[in-house]
Amino acid sequence: MNLDIEKLRAETPGISEGIHLLASGSALMPQPVIDAVINHTKLEARLGGYEAQAQMAGMLENVYDVVAAHLGSDRREIALTENATVAWCQAFYALPFKPGTRILTCEAEYAANYVAFLQRAKKDDLDIDVVPSDASGAVDLEALETMIDDRVGLIAMTWIPTNGGLVNPAAEVGRIAKKHNVTYLLDACQAVGQMPVDVGAIGCDFLSATGRKFLRGPRGSGFLYVARKWLETLEPVMIDHFAAPWVAKDKYQLRDDARRFETWENSYALRAGLGAAVEYAAALGLAAIQNRVWKLASTCRDMLKQLPGAKIRDIGAQQCAIVSFTIDGLEPRETVAVLRQQGIAIGASDPSSTRLDAEARKLPVVMRVAPHYYNTEHDLEQFIQAVRRLL
């Protein structure tokens, strides 16, 4: 399906404020998402929070169906969370590991996940083993397979890192995990909303994601997919009386769905916004979105290469909609601040966000541009001209 870019831009009020090129940070919300959040908030103001929830119960329940359909899962396998990190941590910290268990991860792993590995390694006497990258920069599948032994309890990987263009082979990793019967936790934070996601094809046990990035949802929204087989056995590391009703004086009973990873109190306005965002993306088609955003990113790389002193810092055989680069003589954070004053939003990414990859490649702070489908080549030209003026 071809995207009607003019219509999509008209449905994005933020477009009139400037040029936003940071979908990998927090993208511009479309009008239906804004309406969903504001309408629910207004209803809460009019009726009261509990009453608004009761009135909109059908719509709020439907968010689980919408997210499940987006991932090709069952609604019972979805927990709604406040961000991707909470979703990821809920799964990771719940997994029981014997001392000496090995966790396999990738060089592009995100900081939030890696510090959690470090904490559990210290507390539970686990080993963290990093699978090397292949020549393209993606996780080396052969190395991954040879590293698996009886002590490996988890493969935890980032599909698309926070910067660097890379798309890790998530489904191939899933096939290896399945073959060796190893649990597989996938960080899909930067992938959802940017490309099709099918948990069946990936073969992961858990998948975490956020609402605000390529999905164009509100900040403070995210979700966790928990494969059905875990719903009978996995005990969350913390529970409340929603996750596990108090059924007798000395007894609680865990819910039989992924909502055992939720708590009683939530932002229903943000959930309404998340549901609207996922519906919006689904109506456009994720393949069409991927096609558009990857093309814009590729054009952006070509334009940047024309600038003196510009270095594209991306890796991977196929490169996604996140473009990382440096330009000799331009300090990334200052450049981001100056461009922001001119109404152009890009980002800067610190080596500590992806320390293993950054150290291996001796990366400095890099600048990050992530166009969404509502951006145009003209936006990219304006951005390049603004940078050229700084040189």
Ligand X SMILES: Cc1ncc(COP(=O)(O)O)c(C=O)c1O
Helix axes 268-284, 57-71, angle to 10 degrees: 40
Count Cβ atoms below 10 Å from residue 343 Cβ, excluding itself: 12
- Distance in Å, CB of 189 to ligand X, minimum: 4
Q: Determine if 193 is a binding residue for ligand X (CB under 6 A).
A: no
Q: Which is nearer to ligand X, 187 or 262 (CB)?
A: 187
- Distance in Å, CB of 240 to ligand X, minimum: 21
Q: Tell me the C-alpha distance between 76 and 68, whole Å.
A: 8
Q: Determine if 21 is a binding residue for ligand X (CB under 6 A).
A: no
- Distance in Å, CB of 368 to ligand X, minimum: 10
Q: Which is nearer to ligand X, 68 or 209 (CB)?
A: 209
- In this chain, which stretch among 3-11, 183-191, 263-271, 295-303 interacts with ligand X, using CB under 6 A? 183-191
- In this chain, which stretch among 65-73, 126-134, 166-174, 186-194 interacts with ligand X, using CB under 6 A? 186-194
Q: Which is nearer to ligand X, 140 or 187 (CB)?
A: 187
Q: Determine if 356 is a binding residue for ligand X (CB under 6 A).
A: no
Q: Determine if 215 is a binding residue for ligand X (CB under 6 A).
A: no
- Residue 3 tokens read as 């995207």
Reference 315, options 169, 176, 185, 165; nearest CA is 165
- Distance in Å, CB of 230 to ligand X, minimum: 20
From residue 161 to residue 180, the character string flagging contacts with ligand X as x (rule: CB under 6 A) and all else as - is xx------------------
Residue 298, classified by CB atoms within 10 Å of its CB into exposed (0-12), middle (13-18) or buried (19+), is middle
- 345 HSE (CA, 13 A, CB side): 19
Q: Count residues binding ligand X (CB under 6 A).
A: 13
From residue 60 to residue 99, the character string flagging contacts with ligand X as x (rule: CB under 6 A) and all else as - is -----------------------xxx--------------
Residue written as token pair 């927990």: 79
Judged by CB under 6 A, which of 164, 174, 218, 222 binds ligand X?
222
- Residues 148, 183: contact at Cβ < 8 Å? no
List Cβ neighbours of 378 (8 Å cut-off, separation of 6 or more): none
Q: Determine if 187 is a binding residue for ligand X (CB under 6 A).
A: yes
- Residues 284, 2: contact at Cβ < 8 Å? no
DSSP string, 122-138: HHHT-EEEEEPB-TTSS
Contacting positions for ligand X (CB under 6 A): 83-85, 110, 112, 158, 161-162, 187, 189-190, 210, 222
